[in-house]
Amino acid sequence: MTRQCLFIDADDTLWENNVYFERVIERFIALVDHPQYSPEQVRSVLDEVERAQLTTRGYGSTAFGLNLRDAFLQLAGDRASAEALGLVATLAEGIRRQPLEVIEGVAETLAYLMDRHRLVLFTKGDPSEQADKLARSGLAACFTDARIVREKDAPTYRSTAAELGAPQGHTWMIGNSPRSDINPALEAGFKAVWVPHDATWRLEHEEVSPETAGLLVVARFSDLRRHF
């Protein structure tokens, strides 16, 4: 195979991430204990707060903690005591201290790919938080470049590819998120590999047609060894 440039997502592609946020959200919903709203309605309020703050706060555990606070204030009203807000803050603070769990088969697959293709870590979020995860993962040496961006949209894909001299027609984006990894990469002229994850953040869900030109769908990251 001709040498390819493989842009590779981090959270929920290389290591577990959203499962920790989902566990906190379950505890948040129990803490709210809303007298009228169902758990799903409470979650919808949090979703709307997160969606509204994406542009200003971005992603990561710090932004998530602020979003939890705002959602709690909106939901709790007069019940939003200083003690309760402190509990909400504690919920989010624990995420960054979670042990980093590299997904099964990732390390071996990256070691296989790095000698055959150019690997670029391409992720979004808080720069210090993402850099810390990469360092703790033990995977940094597999990548020739690591780019942490505020948003992964088509213009960012195009500009990053131009900066890195990624060859048109031989550049792929590999990741779990339709909204950030697949659809904008295809729009930017990349090919893409979708590696679905059961715990992908619900705000990252979008329609993806498996028949889309330039799209490959695999069940596991380790399946990349059969295609690259």
Nearest Cα neighbor of 72 from 92, 46, 90, 95 is 46
Specify whether 134 is located in the same domain as 63. no
Burial-class residue 138 by CB neighbours within 10 Å (0-12, 13-18, 19+). exposed
Burial-class residue 211 by CB neighbours within 10 Å (0-12, 13-18, 19+). exposed
Specify whether 27 is located in the same domain as 53. yes
Specify whether 11 is located in the same domain as 106. yes
Specify whether 121 is located in the same domain as 77. no
Specify whether 137 is located in the same domain as 78. no
Q: How far is CA 200 from CA 81, 158, 161, 205, in A?
A: 32, 24, 25, 8
Specify whether 9 is located in the same domain as 67. no
* 3-state SS, residue 75: helix
Give me the number of domains the chain comprises. 2
Specify whether 116 is located in the same domain as 208. yes
Close Cβ partners of 225 (under 8 Å, ≥ 6 residues apart): 109, 112, 113
* pLDDT per residue as tens, the chain (228 positions): 799 999 999 999 999 999 999 999 999 999 998 989 999 999 999 999 999 999 999 999 999 999 999 999 999 888 888 888 898 989 888 888 889 999 999 999 999 999 999 999 999 999 999 999 999 999 999 999 999 999 999 999 999 999 999 998 999 999 999 999 999 999 999 999 999 999 999 999 999 987 788 999 999 999 999 999
Specify whether 122 is located in the same domain as 188. yes
Domain that includes residue 46, residue range: 18-97
Specify whether 185 is located in the same domain as 221. yes
Specify whether 147 is located in the same domain as 61. no
